[in-house]
Amino acid sequence: MRRQHYQRAVLLRRHDRNEEAIRELETELAADPESSESLSLMALCLSDLGRFDDATRRAQLAIALAPGDSRAHHALARVLRDRGRGTDALRAIREAVRIHPEAVEHHALEAALLARERRWSQAIEAAGRGLALVPDDVGCLNLRALALAELGRLAEAKADMGSALGRDPECSHSHANCGWVHLHEREVAPALEHFAEALRQDPGNEWARAGLVEALKARNVVYLRWVGDGLFNLMLLLDRKGRAVMNREERRSGALVGSACVLGLSLFAANAALGHAPTAWLTLLAAVLLAIPVSGAFAVQARGPRILASAIAALVAAGVVGAGVLGLTEAHEIGSTMAASCIAASLLDAWLVAALRRVRVRE
């Protein structure tokens, strides 16, 4: 009877019903508090819910109770991965591999962690070890295909993706990875098809959503490297289908860039009506180029650098407004100078953001 709670938890987690799965596991653990299997599964459920401290404690307790249980080490690796602690996660999964080298899922997770660190050759080796055990394992085929594509070995990557899709044509991750392989070969149309199919099967597949956005960028001639993210997000926001693939931050970025464009057009019209053409044009350009610091503020991940990038974007925006307002007065020449300064600040911000993006996110 006790095992029924564990089995129910497995099924519930498979359907992303983690809260209910946790309740089943609590019942299981009340009867058998030293079950490393139940503790490991609870750690995974808690991690899926973002309760990382509790998840880590459960996984560590499972290891303390059963240090020879590779599933407990695997669970800890998954939790640490979700927390962004890739090095520690890799250490944990390698211990799982050492204990139970015949478990293909351990090799798949090791390959995934190596791929996250862009250690493509090692990821190929780890996935290969899994495929030596189970030649048609979809997870390992996907990971090896991704790594091969990143190394430019596209024919081999396509062969692996064909095997993965042949094994499970309804796998959302396989379609997403196939889309990325096509993008590497600049084959935008089939990439879009695979990303769309991946999202049809799993609307929450972030990897597929990001790929679809990149494919749309590749197809659209409007996309430019520095201002492209912000302007492209605005274009997606104005398109019904585009809005469907945007996440919250992309929507905010597009909305802010749209507001900047409306502001620029309004100030342009007002200054042009007064005959202050230099200020009008400079203010319009400064408003459009606000896409650079706005996009940069969303591109930076670490908290401190993101605050700095956001503050710079706010200051440049204030400068554009100030330039446009001064343009409506007798001090319109000062407004022109201020608008030109905002243009320079936006262009310089592109290099600053490139440096800030290299700052690693810390817990």
357, pLDDT greater than 70: no
Average model confidence (pLDDT) for the chain?
86
DSSP annotation string for 64-128: HH-TT-HHHHHHHHHHHHHTT-HHHHHHHHHHHHHH-TT-HHHHHHHHHHHHHTT-HHHHHHHHH
Q: In this predicted model, what pLDDT tens digit does every residue of 220-229 receive, in sequence order?
A: 654 555 455 6
* DSSP designation for 135: T
Rounded to two decimals, the pTM is 0.64
> 341, exposed or middle or buried, with CB in 10 Å at 0-12, 13-18, 19+?
middle
Backbone angles phi, psi at 341, to 5 degrees: -65, -40
Banded pLDDT at 363 (limits 50, 70, 90): very low
d(CA 100, CA 91): 14
The count of other CB atoms within 10 Å of the CB of residue 168 is 14
1, pLDDT greater than 50: no
Q: In this predicted model, what pLDDT tens digit does every residue of 172-210 receive, in sequence order?
A: 888 998 988 888 888 888 888 898 888 888 877 878 888
Which residues, at least 6 apart from 282, have a Cβ–Cβ distance to it below 8 Å? 323, 336, 339, 340, 343
Q: Could you name the CATH architecture of 1-100?
A: Alpha Horseshoe (1.25)
158, pLDDT greater than 80: yes
290, pLDDT greater than 90: no
Which residue type, as a one-letter code, is found at position 131? L
360, pLDDT greater than 70: no
Higher pLDDT, 243 or 126: 126
